[in-house]
Amino acid sequence: MKDLKELKKIEQYADQCMKCGFCSFFCPVYQEEKTETSVARGKNYLVKEILKGNQEFTKELGNIIGLCLLCKRCVAMCPAKTQIDRVVVGARAQMVNEKGLGAIKNFAFRKVMANRKAFGNYVKLAKSFQWLLPKTEGNIRHLPDFLKALGQGRNIPALADKFLREIVKPVYKPQNGEKPKMKVGYFMGCATDFMYPELGLKFIDFLTKRGIEVVVPESQSCCGAAMYFSGDFETGRLQAEKNIEAFKDVDYIVTACGTCSSTLKDYQKYLPETEDQKKRFEEFEKKVKDSMEFIVDIMKVKPEELTLKKEFEGKTATWHDPCHLVRYQNIKDQPRAILKGLKGLKYVEMPNADLCCGMGGSFSVYHYDITKKIAGKKMDGIKATGADIVVTACPGCMVNLTDNVLQNKMPQKVYHLLELVE
Amino acid sequence: MLKESVVAELQKIVGKENVLTSPEALKAYSYDGTTSWVHEPDVVVFPTITQQVSDIMKLANAEKIPVTPRGGGTNVSGGSIPIMGGIVLCTTKMNKILKVDKENLTATVEPGVVLQDLTIRLMKEGLFFPPDPQSFLGATLGGIIAENAGGPACVKYGVTKQYILGVEVVLPNGDIIHLGGRTLKNVVGYDLLHIFISSEGTLGVITKAELKLNPIPPAKKTIMVVYDDVAKAGESVFRVLENGVIPGKIELMDNWVINRIEEMMPMGLPKDADALLLFETDGIPEAVEKETEKIVEIVKKYGAVDARVAKDQAEADKYWMGRKAGFAAVFGKAKTVFAEDVTVPRGQIPALINKCKELGKKYNIEVVVLGHAGDGNLHPAILTDINNKDHYDRAVKAMDEIIEGAVELGGVLSGEHGIGLEKQRFLKRQLEPVVIEMMKKVKALFDPNNIMNPGKIWE
């Protein structure tokens, strides 16, 4: 008998499913594909077959468990409370144990992303070639046909002239010169670092204006989402240890990236190998706060006391719920409270606000056609609001929403909520 | 195993992307919502238009390959399991709502339309399709029609067959025929339309349907009624009806179910109650008001401990959410669950409930009761574990006796799930041998080669 270590860990979750099939209604991928292998029930059944010894980790099985956005929409609605996200990630981890990562991911995760310096250097190298990409609008660049692997015709934000890591200081004292109310560690995340550095500076400014000391440890590394959601627990664990070490002397660890905050919090769920590790990961989780919950729940900032930036005066805004906020962290009321409370801004709720934008990290690289269809539904929701701006709090979603707004020739602009306020 | 040439033919008919043959995909089409039946097909095809269905059937008929039609795969009778292998003909890509006709209160749909998608679409027009099987999030109209599905709303509105005006069907030989029509009345020859409704996919493939709709009632109210004796709850059901009120829904939950729901989602249900009835009245506001008062008066007269009218829609939604979760509450608590759908004339509900409780004691197993008490359709559920032989055997015996009991009380062994595989062995207890023979002849008339969902309904 093979050692099904990672699968054994999730067997209890897989057993929960009673095959009612309700997940099909909520699964963005099933709604496009209409096949049983694209939905939670089918994936869960196949994982159980592996556990019974009736199914091997074939290439096709790899494709099937790969075809999940991990958006957790089905999990939220499952009458049997099956945590299919854990089943899928567990199965991916088992597959990595048995079959390895594959050359591309192996290189990307272990040689590049796991090493902060290398990651920066590779992105820098990519940047020096980005003039090859035609510009769509502003600083959005258009991926031409020869880069099919990244999605045909895709628009991505240009890489910043200077990455956040190159301009950020290690310590920011409160702007009023007083003794800090608390000390937080800022976790930047790769999208903010390479594409939206001004967002990072904005967040730091927001915090220090309000009496908080911000430290930005140079030793912080990638959050690990891409790795451990792909089943590379080994590299994920490495990232977890690096980040926990980097942020050990702060009251809170804050980030303006929904994916990063939920990934940092979930180290304890997926990665511990020993009791000691589990304890440390759990301790770490308690200190991690997403920007939205930190501002509203911890800093207790009153939305009506915030000042809207001039350029947004009189505009209508709608909110997109990132999966990693609404379902991974139950953060949905905080951003709405801010948007509704901001004087001078009109808020409209979009239909299906909690529908995944279709990005799913590397999902969109492998299944860009499906990503586009799912995003199309998101766009329908945005159009129905008649809003001027789409606001969210996850740079991953921002990338995908921006791409699809442009592809659909819509007038809306996409912003991180922090960009709206002074 | 299927010949390669057949797969190639199928690919020619529906396109390569609409044919699945990988072992993994076949496994994913080996089950439905039941716990005890599994069988893999040899191939899964997804037609997108009627002509493709016809071409598939012609090919299968010529090659004598079994064809099992399947939609969302949510049924709980084993009906969509390809028990003889062959082709699974999956209708999920024929999912267009072709027309909503407000003037005539009808809708034209393809078979793969999911009920909840239809409901959402109709809501925009102020209309609804009354049959409401609780699998509405996954169930497709083709399956709903083929199984003649029911649900809570049937006490007032009736079951699926009362809402189907016509169907387009592909016969096993590939012929495309039209039964019924678009009118409310229709007595042109034998009513073959209704042979298709509840045919469980054994006579042909439904490729289009004309549905009868109702306007959404402008008002509704929910009443939660508490009992210290489940049989008294059963009595209340027919007392309310005989006193002239037909509520939109009457749902029953017993003590065990109440407590599991409270564990899952605490909402303040009375945990010591032996049973609860949920009533919903609907119609014009004045009538709803009056009917609600009347129900409260009657249930109190006939032994209810308490009757609480939900003060707003939020409170009402909470109770109905609890009722919906009842199903999950049951299935989440045992490895194997027999979910019965025996149905008796309403006056016999207390007798059936008592029978279930007695059998639970007799065989020392958990028999829990919930269901659509309003139309006599109960879901006694037996919690067991297929791997625990002694327990499982006792559970099987109890189930046998519940079914026998229901039939003795003048009821039927299935009210809304169908026979499929799950209840085949009981068929003889309900139907006379001559009737079963006639059914087989009907089947042979439509499907002489026995390729259409073979192995279902009778043994």
Distance in angstroms (rounded) separating the CA atoms of residues A411 and A408:
9
Angle at B229 between CA B224 and CA B233, to 5 degrees: 45
Cβ–Cβ below 8 Å for A80 and B24: no
Q: Same structural domain for residues B24 and B163?
A: yes
What count of residues does chain A have? Answer: 422
As for the ipTM of the complex, it is 0.94
DSSP tag of A160: P
Closest listed residue to residue B251, CA positions, set B411, B74, B379: B379
Which residues of A fall within a CB distance of 8 Å from B112?
Answer: 34
Which residues of B fall within a CB distance of 8 Å from A18?
Answer: 33, 35, 328, 331-332, 337
Q: Which residue of A has its CA nearest to B31?
A: A19
DSSP codes of every residue in A396-415: HHHHHHHHHHHHTT---EEE
Q: Is residue B457 part of a domain?
A: no
- CB pairs A-B closer than 8 Å: 86
Give me the residue from A22, A45, A81 closest to B28, CB to CB: A45
Which residues of B fall within a CB distance of 8 Å from A384?
Answer: none
Give me the residue from B22, B23, B33 closest to A21, CB to CB: B33
Q: Same structural domain for residues B180 and B238?
A: no
Mean pLDDT, consecutive 10-residue segments, chain A of 422 residues?
86 92 96 97 97 96 96 92 94 94 83 84 77 61 48 73 94 94 96 94 97 96 92 94 95 97 96 95 97 97 94 97 97 97 96 94 87 96 97 95 94 96 92
Q: Same structural domain for residues B40 and B171?
A: yes
Residues of chain B whose beta carbon is less than 8 angstroms from a beta carbon of chain A are: 20, 22-25, 27-29, 31-35, 46, 72-74, 90, 92-93, 95, 112, 114, 116, 135, 137-138, 264, 324-325, 327-328, 331-332, 337
- Structure-token pair, residue B372: 């659509």
Distance in angstroms (rounded) separating the CA atoms of residues A226 and B408:
62
**Structure confidence at residue B36 (pLDDT):** 79
**Structure confidence at residue A364 (pLDDT):** 86
Distance in angstroms (rounded) separating the CA atoms of residues B257 and B277:
12
Give the torsion through C-alpha atoms of B197, B200, B205, B211, to 10 deg: 30
Distance in angstroms (rounded) separating the CA atoms of residues B27 and B68:
15
**Structure confidence at residue A146 (pLDDT):** 43
Q: Which residue of B has its CA nearest to A82?
A: B332
* Residue B350 amino acid letter: P
Bridge partners (DSSP) of residue B337 are B383
* Residue B45 amino acid letter: V
Give me the residue from B93, B116, B325 closest to A25, CB to CB: B116
Q: Is residue B46 part of a domain?
A: yes
Distance in angstroms (rounded) separating the CA atoms of residues B451 and B84:
9
Query: CATH second-level architecture of A164-298?
Result: 3-Layer(aba) Sandwich (3.40)
Give me the residue from A16, A21, A34 closest to B332, CB to CB: A16
- Measure B424 CA to nearest chain A CA, in Å: 22
Q: Same structural domain for residues B148 and B172?
A: yes
Cβ–Cβ below 8 Å for B24 and A46: yes
Distance in angstroms (rounded) separating the CA atoms of residues B337 and A18:
10
**Structure confidence at residue A147 (pLDDT):** 47
Which CATH code for domain A303-420? 3.40.50.11810
Q: Which residue of A has its CA nearest to B22?
A: A60
Do A389 and A312 meet the contact criterion of CB atoms below 8 Å apart?
yes
Q: Is residue B456 part of a domain?
A: no
Do A126 and A369 meet the contact criterion of CB atoms below 8 Å apart?
no
Residue where one domain finishes, among candidates B265, B294, B329:
B329
Helix/strand number for chain A, H first, E second: 23, 12
Give how many domains chain B has, as a whole number. 3
Q: Is residue B319 part of a domain?
A: yes
> How many CA atoms within 13 Å lie on the side-chain side of A355?
25
Domain at B245, CATH number: 3.30.70.2190
Q: Is residue B356 part of a domain?
A: yes
Distance in angstroms (rounded) separating the CA atoms of residues B276 and B279:
10
Cβ neighbors of A142 (< 8 A, separation 6 or more) are A133, A134, A135, A136, A153, A154, A155
DSSP tag of A105: H
Distance in angstroms (rounded) separating the CA atoms of residues A215 and A220:
11
Cβ–Cβ below 8 Å for A49 and B327: no
Which residues of B fall within a CB distance of 8 Å from A35?
Answer: 20, 25, 28, 46, 90, 92
Residue where one domain finishes, among candidates B329, B364, B386:
B329
Q: Which residue of B has its CA nearest to A44?
A: B28
Give me the residue from B20, B74, B116 closest to A35, CB to CB: B20
**Structure confidence at residue B1 (pLDDT):** 72
Distance in angstroms (rounded) separating the CA atoms of residues B116 and A217:
50
Q: Is residue B205 part of a domain?
A: yes
Q: Which residue of B has its CA nearest to A65?
A: B24
> How many CA atoms within 13 Å lie on the side-chain side of A310?
0
Specify the CATH number for A5-99; select among 3.40.640.10, 1.10.3720.10, 1.10.1060.10, 3.40.50.2300: 1.10.1060.10
- Measure A263 CA to nearest chain B CA, in Å: 27
Residue where one domain finishes, among candidates B329, B360, B392:
B329
User: Residue A14: helix, strand or coil by DSSP?
Assistant: helix
Count CB neighbours of B265 within 10 A: 12
> How many CA atoms within 13 Å lie on the side-chain side of B360?
15
Q: Same structural domain for residues B242 and B104?
A: no
Distance in angstroms (rounded) separating the CA atoms of residues B189 and B319:
46
DSSP tag of B83: T
Identify the domain containing residue B240 by its residue range: 218-329
User: Residue B101: helix, strand or coil by DSSP?
Assistant: strand
Q: Same structural domain for residues B232 and B303?
A: yes
- Measure A54 CA to nearest chain B CA, in Å: 10
What count of residues does chain B have? Answer: 459
Cα distances (angstroms) measured from residue B381 to each of A20, A78, B327, B332, B344: 16, 20, 9, 12, 16
Q: Which residue of A has its CA nearest to B44?
A: A35
Q: Which residue of A has its CA nearest to B336?
A: A18
Distance in angstroms (rounded) separating the CA atoms of residues B81 and B84:
9
Give me the residue from B27, B72, B90 closest to A46, CB to CB: B27
Cβ–Cβ below 8 Å for A46 and B32: no
Residues of chain A with CATH 1.10.1060.10: 5-99
Which residues of A fall within a CB distance of 8 Å from B29?
Answer: 36
- Measure A375 CA to nearest chain B CA, in Å: 19
Name the stretches of chain B with pLDDT < 70: none
Q: Same structural domain for residues B304 and B406?
A: no
Angle between helices A368-385 and A395-407 (to 10 degrees): 80
- Measure B217 CA to nearest chain A CA, in Å: 24
Domain at B396, CATH number: 3.30.70.2740
Helix/strand number for chain B, H first, E second: 15, 18
Neighbour order of strands in the sheet with A135-137? A135-137, A140-142, A155-157
Do A1 and A9 meet the contact criterion of CB atoms below 8 Å apart?
no
Give me the residue from A18, A21, A42 closest to B72, CB to CB: A21
Q: Is residue B458 part of a domain?
A: no
